[in-house]
Structure 1
Amino acid sequence: MSETEVEIVPVQLVLHDDEDVPREFIVDLLSRVFGKSDSEAASVMANIKKNATAVCGPYPPSVADALLESARRRITIAGHSLLIVRETAKPRCGLCGQPAAQSEVQLTDRTIWLCADCVRAAATASQQLPEEEFNYAFSVLNAYFADVPRSQLVTTVRQFPGHMRADVQAAVDRLFAAPVRLFGLAEDRRYETLSMSRLMQDDNFAVTIAPLQYNDVDIGEPIPAKCLDNGLWLCAVSGLRYAILLAIHREYSREAGVRIEIMVPAGAAGAELVQQCFTALEDAVQAARTYRGKILSLDADPDYRGRSRGITVHRLPSIGRDEVILPEQTLRLLDRNVLNFVGTRDVLRRLGQSTRKGILLYGPPGTGKTHTIRYLASHLPGHTTLIITAEQIGLLGAYMNLARLLQPAMVVIEDVDLIARQRENMNGCEEPLLNRLLNEMDGLKQDADILFVLTTNRPQQLEGALAGRPGRIDQAIEVPLPDETGRDKLVRLYGKGLPLDEPIIAEAARRSEGTSCAFIKELMRRLAQASLARDGGRSVISADIDEALDDMLFSGGRLNARLLGGAQAMAAG
């Protein structure tokens, strides 16, 4: 916990009630600008409703000014009239409750003020550890707590999911930003989790001091998050010394977790400090700023960049509406049932209506269901998208925990027919997976901001309990084979680098009737190959189309046509 004495007059920002401003916008503002967790944002909204105002802060003046400018800019861009004013604050000491002096302490994503007595006591406590080199963890702790009997030391533990490691590390870095000392710890036994009691053992297996060891965790940003494997922080505030242990908890065949243990002298002051620290850590994990609003999947595959990960962040390009080659009627269905539905969630909630929804996208392979999902993800601001493949359905519980944490969220389950077939066609392993999916969909609260999007190539095989009961699937949307207008657009899209004349575009679109988007994409590649072989890529002629279609539809047989998405065209021919 860092302490920096600064001559400042703290400032608070006051939000005034405005019935014309959507609640969703204010909550988003509190999250993105003020860094509020969901629970904190709900508390602010409750204060606005009850008192017509709510206070954020106190902050140092420079921080308050930056937050105010950012908030006003967002309000102006959104076209709202939300009033936020700047006022001088009268803070109290964050530890003893007495009127605070002019000294601030940064506690994770919040600032608290300390009185002069607490500042002096903390400065005195920070001098308790000798400036010497230590070889063992027990000698560090013995020196730091030399005047405290071991029987008077108390530890408290919290364990967080390994895939939230980056958020836990970020919170720890802010919360204990300027410790008295920070030590790395050796980990001799991989599946023996380090604990405070283990560190204090003075025997042949004593834990040794080691260099700090960090892992780079890919979080979808240009710079990975640096996460510590094992670390011991020695800290002090208000005359109270305490120690924090971060350790990786491993169990065979299970995801590693992050274990935080805080040790303090017994008493009310220590208990209060521990509660403050864990509340700040839990708030940071609940806010989940590292992954919120991104496209994610749980992935344990090897990473050849050498970065460990529990969550994979997919870097997918944004898809515009004009890039989704679907019939206009299908696009309107998507807009009404997904984009417009999400935009009216606040109103629906006030009217007592459910805000969860299930969408089924069905159609032949290669028609663009995955591309359509990318379009939806691109146009759901603030939503986290979780992509679950059929082989990962065993991780559904972990995915749903993430969805609840990161909501509003869109949960995508691809090829759902592989685990949701009619029960009479299932084997003994598949039915529990279906039951788990149904239970997760039924178990969501009515006001959950979670959207299920399921995809299938075989809708006729779906289990009736999934497809035939309202509240699980609310709207089925067909993603059909492209019509002539769609095929014309696809030829232009995938052939934009080719020297295509208008008659050739029209011919390719006409002759690819009954084929999928994937088929037309492959057709354009083969036209490029034929053109390169004939005249170096300077032109595309009808003979090139003849050659490509013959290879794709006829010479390769029915199986090849099915693989490429042209089975219906072959049948028609």
Structure 2
Amino acid sequence: MTIDTEPAPITDVASWLEATGERRALQALGELLLGVTAVGTSETADRFTARCLNVPGVSHLAVEERPLDPVARVTVPLALSEWMQQHGGAIEVGPFRHSEPPQWTQTEVGDTTYRHPKRLRVFFPAGTLLDGKGVVLGVENRDSTLDDAQITASVAPEHRAAVQPLLDRLFTRAEQLNPYRGKAIRATYVRGGLRLTVIDLPAITRETVIVPPEVWQEVDLGVTAVRDRHQLLNVHGLGTRRGILLVGPPGTGKSAVSAVIAGEVLGEFTVIYVEARAGAELLTAVVEQAQKLGGPVLLVLEDVDLWCRDRARGSSGLSELLQAMDIASDARILTLASTNDAATLDRAAVRTGRFDSIVEVGHPDRDAATAILTALVSGLPGGTGVDCDTVAGALPAETTGSDLREIVRRAVLTAGDTGQVTTNGLLAEVRGGRYQAQLPAGAGAYL
């Protein structure tokens, strides 16, 4: 393995200065070399803080810092902005670092745009946030990965004991303002961290997803536990949190079941779809965020076998899954996972207390296939005249719901301009077998 040690050239000086935070140091060096101070130099952040709190310098202050996770980077500035509006006539706003001016930004969550502080310090005089005590709160929320997002609180040393309760109040209010609550979110792994993005769910219902009744029964049991029976279960030490694993071949409707349940509970629940890498690396962080939402949460882990396998086969995601599934048994979290091959999962992952129920979503039988076909052709030209039972009887074994959908689609596409489906047209597609994508014999040997 060769390691490239040649340094990369700096092609954008302004961006480099912004990322490294060296702008003020270079400015100070220039002033020293010239022997003069720049005219109109703004008050630095430290001087602003010391002046507001009436001390000679920031070394005379007590300062507490708290990091901001991906959600708190939005919610804490929103809570701080609310406090600033409440005490607008009394506060004073200054720079966060050096002499950089205060900055605001905006974050889009779904259809709503939230405007909030990005980098600044704000002085709250005595009698606003704290009786008889002034405090300077600062927020730092840079885009660069070299700088951690954080909130700081500065007070006179004798008032140090008031800082932690104040920040607790700020974070409590931030959780109440969480704009992700009640929405459908996708959790992804980005540049070593977690990103949450609001998504739209497909408009499907139980009427169009035909699976065995016990699938709905088990999922409904989990929803009931988290939504309706959480107090009873927790009072008696039984725990609310539940996990359900949907097992079955590809195309049998596992993802569709998750989408149906997500659509049914959305609004009352927050729905979080966790992508594979986020699951393998950051599932614990996702669960910790879910706990802060203050309501029931549905976690959807699709194709969990892609990143969480038996420990004998080597799996970086297994320890993350086990750790995440063991957090807070009293949390109002329902985990709905799916896999094509449960045999690849470690036995520690599929035990009761992590995945409490394993439900098979298998190939549809003739009655189920008839019901699926009836739902698929409903509303199509000629759909009312199709003998779905006859078509279902002609299907080969192990035909999936996805196969049935493709059979209907091909029948529509080959029906000419009318797009009219018929029993014979559907039977022709079944006999032709082209609805199942298959590699030709000898594929891969063309060279």
1:405 aligns with 2:292: yes
Instruction: Choose from 361, 365, 388 the match for 1:483.
Output: 365
User: Displacement, 1:138?
Assistant: 4.9
Instruction: Choose from 197, 213, 219 the match for 2:109.
Output: 219
1:141 aligns with 2:32: no
User: Displacement, 1:257?
Assistant: 4.5
Note the 1:125-164 alignment, pairs <5 A: 135-138=42-45, 141=48, 144-145=51-52, 147-150=54-57, 151-164=59-72
User: Displacement, 1:539?
Assistant: 2.5
Paired residue for 1:461? 344
Paired residue for 1:233? 122
CA 435–367 in structure 1, closer or farther in 2 if over 3 Å, else same:
same
What is the CA–CA distance in structure 1 between the aligned matches of 2:216 and 2:244, rounded to whole Å? 14
1:396 aligns with 2:262: no
CA 524–224 in structure 1, closer or farther in 2 if over 3 Å, else same:
farther
- Which digits, 9 at most, give the CA deviation of each residue in 1:118-153, with x for residues without a partner? xxxxxxxxxxxxxxx973435971794395322543
Note the 1:295-334 alignment, pairs <5 A: 295-299=184-188, 310-317=195-202, 319-334=204-219
1:169 aligns with 2:62: no
Paired residue for 1:248? 141
CA 542–444 in structure 1, closer or farther in 2 if over 3 Å, else same:
same
CA 246–446 in structure 1, closer or farther in 2 if over 3 Å, else same:
closer
Paired residue for 1:258? 149
What is the CA–CA distance in structure 1 between the aligned matches of 2:306 and 2:175, rounded to whole Å? 33
1:176 match: secondary structure: helix
**Normalising by the residue count of structure 2, what TM-score does the alignment of the two structures yield?**
0.74
Counterpart residue type for residue 291 of structure 1: Y
User: Displacement, 1:300?
Assistant: 5.2
Paired residue for 2:93? 182
Contact 1:219 1:312 (8 Å CA) reproduced: yes
User: Displacement, 1:437?
Assistant: 1.6
CA 353–237 in structure 1, closer or farther in 2 if over 3 Å, else same:
same
What is the CA–CA distance in structure 2 between the aligned matches of 1:271 and 1:149, rounded to whole Å? 21
User: Displacement, 1:538?
Assistant: 5.5
What is the CA–CA distance in structure 2 between the aligned matches of 1:556 and 1:346, rounded to whole Å? 48
User: Displacement, 1:247?
Assistant: 0.8
Note the 1:349-364 alignment, pairs <5 A: 349-364=234-249
CA 181–537 in structure 1, closer or farther in 2 if over 3 Å, else same:
farther
- Which digits, 9 at most, give the CA deviation of each residue in 1:465-515, with x for residues without a partner? 223x33222211111223334333433433444202434251444444542
1:397 match: secondary structure: helix
CA 366–301 in structure 1, closer or farther in 2 if over 3 Å, else same:
farther
1:284 aligns with 2:173: yes
- Which digits, 9 at most, give the CA deviation of each residue in 1:432-460, with x for residues without a partner? 4212322332x334423332322111123
Contact 1:162 1:257 (8 Å CA) reproduced: no
- Which digits, 9 at most, give the CA deviation of each residue in 1:412-437, with x for residues without a partner? 2222223343333x13xx1x421232
What is the CA–CA distance in structure 2 between the aligned matches of 1:503 and 1:338, rounded to whole Å? 39
Contact 1:159 1:259 (8 Å CA) reproduced: yes
- Residue identity (%): 24
Paired residue for 1:499? 381
Contact 1:337 1:475 (8 Å CA) reproduced: no
Q: Which 10-residue stretch deviates more, 222-231 or 285-294?
A: 285-294
User: Displacement, 1:172?
Assistant: 0.8
Contact 1:356 1:450 (8 Å CA) reproduced: yes
Paired residue for 2:233? 348
Instruction: Choose from 408, 426, 430 the match for 1:545.
Output: 426
Contact 2:205 2:260 (8 Å CA) reproduced: yes
CA 480–556 in structure 1, closer or farther in 2 if over 3 Å, else same:
closer
Paired residue for 1:98? none
1:453 match: secondary structure: strand
What is the CA–CA distance in structure 2 between the aligned matches of 1:479 and 1:288, rounded to whole Å? 39
What is the CA–CA distance in structure 2 between the aligned matches of 1:266 and 1:557, rounded to whole Å? 72
What is the CA–CA distance in structure 2 between the aligned matches of 1:389 and 1:146, rounded to whole Å? 47
CA 499–358 in structure 1, closer or farther in 2 if over 3 Å, else same:
same
Contact 1:161 1:257 (8 Å CA) reproduced: no
Contact 1:137 1:209 (8 Å CA) reproduced: no
2:252 match: secondary structure: coil
Contact 1:387 1:412 (8 Å CA) reproduced: yes
What is the CA–CA distance in structure 2 between the aligned matches of 1:416 and 1:300, rounded to whole Å? 16
CA 345–537 in structure 1, closer or farther in 2 if over 3 Å, else same:
same
Q: Which runs of 5+ in 2 are unaligned?
A: 1-39, 441-447
- Which digits, 9 at most, give the CA deviation of each residue in 1:167-201, with x for residues without a partner? 11210111122163435x5xxxxxxxx65xxx3xx
What is the CA–CA distance in structure 1 between the aligned matches of 2:286 and 2:104, rounded to whole Å? 29
CA 528–237 in structure 1, closer or farther in 2 if over 3 Å, else same:
farther
Contact 2:226 2:332 (8 Å CA) reproduced: no
1:385 aligns with 2:240: no
- Which digits, 9 at most, give the CA deviation of each residue in 1:24-53, with x for residues without a partner? xxxxxxxxxxxxxxxxxxxxxxxxxxxxxx
Residues matched between the structures, number: 387
Contact 1:421 1:462 (8 Å CA) reproduced: yes
Contact 1:235 1:241 (8 Å CA) reproduced: yes
Contact 2:364 2:399 (8 Å CA) reproduced: yes
Counterpart residue type for residue 421 of structure 2: V
1:209 aligns with 2:106: no
What is the CA–CA distance in structure 1 between the aligned matches of 2:123 and 2:226, rounded to whole Å? 50
What is the CA–CA distance in structure 2 between the aligned matches of 1:359 and 1:147, rounded to whole Å? 59
User: Displacement, 1:375?
Assistant: 2.5
CA 371–405 in structure 1, closer or farther in 2 if over 3 Å, else same:
same
What is the CA–CA distance in structure 2 between the aligned matches of 1:402 and 1:146, rounded to whole Å? 35
2:249 match: secondary structure: coil
Contact 1:417 1:462 (8 Å CA) reproduced: yes
Q: Which 10-residue stretch deviates more, 236-245 or 514-523?
A: 236-245
Note the 1:91-130 alignment, pairs <5 A: none
